[in-house]
Amino acid sequence: MEKVKVFLVLSCVLFFSVYTQAAVVEQKVLSKTAFTIKDMKLEAISGEFIFHFDPNSVSNLQIVDIDIAPTNSAGLVEAKANFFIIQHQDHKKRKGALVEVSNRGSKASLRYFNHAQRSNTPNKASVLGDGLIQDLGLSLVWVGWQGDVPVSKNTMYASLPRIIGLDGWARSDWTVDRRKSLLSLAHHDNVETVYPVDFIKQKEAWLTKRMGRDNLRSVVPRTDWKFSADGKQISGNFVSGIYELVYPTKDPMVSGLGLAILRDTAEYIKTDGKDYLVPKTIAFGVSQTGRFLRQFLHQGFNETENGEIAFDGMLIHSAGAGRGSFNHRFAQPSRDAHRMSSFLYPTDIFPFTSARVRSKYTNKKVGLLKRKHEVFYPKTFYTNTGYEYWGRAAGLIHTHDVFDIAPLENERIFHFSSTQHFVETPNNLVLIDKKSGMYRGNPLDFKLHLRALLAHLAGWVLDEKQPPKSVYPRFANQTLTNFAHFQLPSWLDMEKPFKPHTAYEVDYGEHWQQGIIDNQPPIIVAEIMPPVPKMDTNGHELGGIKHPLIKAPIATFLPWVFRYDLFASNEIQDFRGALKKWRKNRILDRYADKKSYLNHLNKMTLKSLANGWILARDVTRVRQQGSWLWDWSMDQPDYFHELEADDIE
C-alpha cells in the first residue's frame, strides 16, 4: 500500500489569530491499473482520502453541527472517503476533470456519457464504452461523500463523525401498495438505517396512516405495530396507504461534511504538483446528486477555504427544482421527494430560481445563488427530462408565479422533451391498458443529448467556446402552461394526472435556520403548483430539445404514467413514463414502408446534429433505435380502441 502525505497549509489572519486551513491531508492508494483504449493510455487508481476541517473557518460555518463535532488534537474535524480516478497517464493530456457526485455509492458517468455497461470497478478498456469522456481530455473522478452508504470496496462511501449523546427526532415514511409485515426505517436498499430508534424513549414514537398525499393523517394504535430488536424496522400488518413514523433517535452524523468533501476534492486535484493535477473541474450530479449540487451552490460551497473556486463547471441533471437532506441535524441524504413517496423532507423548498425573487408567502427575496458569491459561480448546465416537470417541479427553476425567469449568464437550461427520468430498456415495457395501447416505460434515449451537452460544456469550461442557448418551455412563447390549463390531445382518450409533484413553503420550526428540525412532520404554509410543458397534437412536449424519434413520430412518448394497478391510481408513478403505441394503419398513412420512415428519420437526425443536440458518432444509433421502434410497432397487435383525429401531425 502506498501512503503519501499530501496537503496541509497553515494560514494567518488579522489580529495574529492563527487557524489551520486543511482539506485533503493524506491519501492511501490501494490499487493502480494501466490500460489502453483507442490508443489512449489510461490508468485507474483507487484509494482513500483523509480530510481535516477547521470548525472555525468561515467557509465551514454553514456545516451544521461542525462546532460541536469531535475533533483531533489539533482541533480539526476528521473524515475519510474512498476515491476512484480514471485519467490519462500523460498529464499533458488532462485538460480537466469530470467529478461525479456518486448517487448512493454508484458510478453513473460511464453509462450516461460513454454508452458503457454498469461497472463498479471500471479499470479496463472493455467497461469504458466508446471513451467520450476520455476523448474530451477529462479525467473521471469519484469520491465518497454520503455517510449512510454501506462501506464496500465497490461503492463510494464516506466515514463521517457522529455527535455521541445528542438526541432528537427522525422521520420515515412509506407508500404501501400491497400488504407488508416489515418496513425499514432506511429510505433505500442501498443505504443503511443511520438513525435507529432510541429505545429509552420509544414510547414517544407515533405512526400515522393516510390514503393519499393530501389526505388527513390518522394515528395507528401503538398496539398494532412495534420496533424490531435492532431498532431499524417496524413490524405490523401494513395494508395499502401512506404510513409515516416520527420517532426519537440519537447520535447524529455530521452529514454536511459531504458537501465539504466534494469542495475540497475539487480544490485538491487542481493544486500544483499533485498526482491527479488538472487545470479545471466540472461536477456532474444526476437526480439525488443533482439536487446535492443545487444545495452545494445555495450554501456557498463552491468557494474553498483558501478563497478559490472549487468547480469551474457543473452539469446538473434531473434534479428538477429540488435540493435535499444533505446538511441538517439527523439528515438522511438518500431521502428525495416525488408525488407518491418521500413526503415533505427539505427537498422542494423555496428558493427555486438562481435569480433572486420574492416569496409571496414569507416576503423574503432570495435566490438559489447568493450575490456575494458571483465570482464563484460555475458555468452550469441544468438538464431535465420531461418527468422532472411532472415529478420534480422543474418548471419552478425558470418561473416565478406566472412569469418567466431567465437563467443567469453563467447558466443554460435544457429540457429533454417527453422523456422519463431514466432511459427504459425496451424489454421492460409492460402493457398496462389495452384500451389505449399504453405501455409502462419510456425508452426515448435522452443520453444522446446529454453526451452532446457534455461536449458543449467542456468546450465552454476548458476552451471558452460559447455553448448553445438554453432550450426549455416558456410562458412567453406559449410552450409552458399552468397545470389548471394543461390539456391532452383528445385522441389520447385519457384523463390528465390528478396533479404534478408540488413544492412547498413549509415551517420546520424556529431552529431551522440553524439546521435543526423541530416540527416533525413540518407545517405546510403553502403548496406551490409548478407549470408544465404544453403538448403538440402528437402528445409530445413543446419547448424542449426534441429527439429525432419525436420529430419523425410513429408512437407517442409520455414523460409520466399513471399508477394503474396501485392505490391512488390517478396519481403519477415515480420516475417512469409511458409509450403509447400507434395503430399500424396510422403509421402506414405517413410512411409507405420502413425504408421510407428511416429515410425521414435520418433527415431529422441530421438536423439534430446540425443544431448540436447529438454527436456525429451517435447518428447510426438513432437509426438503430428507429428500426427497433418500427419493428416493435408492427409486431404488437392493434387490440385497442383509439379516437380518430384529423389534426394529427
What's the CATH number where 173 sits?
2.60.40
Task: Give the per-residue pLDDT at 10.
Answer: 28
In a domain, 615, yes or no: no
Are 205 and 264 within one domain? no
Are 197 and 146 within one domain? no
Tell me how many degrees the CA angle 120-126-131 measures, rounded to the nearest 5.
90
Asked if 282 and 99 touch (Cβ cutoff 8 Å), the reply is: yes
Are 262 and 232 within one domain? no
Are 266 and 192 within one domain? no
Beta-carbon count within 10 A of 621 CB: 16
In terms of Cα–Cα distance, which of 272, 185, 187, 274 is closest to 231? 185
Pairing of strands 180-184, 206-210: unpaired
- CA separation, residue 512 to residues 82, 322, 362, 516 (Å): 31, 17, 15, 5
Are 71 and 194 within one domain? no
In a domain, 640, yes or no: no
Q: What is the pLDDT of residues 446-501, one digit of tens each?
A: 999 999 999 999 999 999 999 999 999 999 999 999 999 999 999 998 899 999 99
Enumerate residues 6+ apart whose C-beta is below 8 A from 273.
none
Domain enclosing residue 112, as ranges: 2-160+254-279
Are 245 and 259 within one domain? no
Are 102 and 18 within one domain? yes
In a domain, 205, yes or no: yes
Are 101 and 210 within one domain? no
Burial of 353 (0-12, 13-18, 19+ CB in 10 A): buried
Are 96 and 145 within one domain? yes
Task: Pick the last residue of a domain from 233, 250, 267.
Answer: 250
Are 148 and 241 within one domain? no
Segments of the chain with pLDDT less than 70: 1-22, 639-649
Q: 553: which 3 cell numbers?
A: 413520430
- Interatomic CA distance for residues 545 and 536, integer angstroms: 14
Are 150 and 79 within one domain? yes
* DSSP 8-state secondary structure symbol assigned to residue 602: H
In a domain, 30, yes or no: yes
Task: Give the per-residue pLDDT at 641.
Answer: 54
In a domain, 519, yes or no: no
- Interatomic CA distance for residues 507 and 505, integer angstroms: 7
Q: 174: which 3 cell numbers?
A: 412509506
Asked if 431 and 504 touch (Cβ cutoff 8 Å), the reply is: no
Asked if 3 and 28 touch (Cβ cutoff 8 Å), the reply is: yes
Asked if 456 and 467 touch (Cβ cutoff 8 Å), the reply is: yes
Asked if 170 and 330 touch (Cβ cutoff 8 Å), the reply is: yes
Tell me how many degrees the CA angle 258-263-268 measures, rounded to the nearest 5.
120
In a domain, 447, yes or no: no
In a domain, 175, yes or no: yes
Task: Give the per-residue pLDDT at 16.
Answer: 27
- Interatomic CA distance for residues 220 and 595, integer angstroms: 62
Enumerate residues 6+ apart whose C-beta is below 8 A from 27.
3, 4, 6, 47, 48, 49, 50, 83, 275
Task: Give the per-residue pLDDT at 74.
Answer: 95
Long-range CB contact pairs, 476-480, < 8 A, 24+: 476/404, 477/543, 478/534, 479/533, 479/534, 479/542, 479/543, 480/395, 480/399, 480/404, 480/531, 480/532, 480/533, 480/534, 480/543
Are 214 and 244 within one domain? yes
pTM of the full structure: 0.94
In a domain, 115, yes or no: yes
Helices 257-269 and 288-298, axial angle in degrees (round to 10): 80
Number of domains present in the structure of the chain: 2
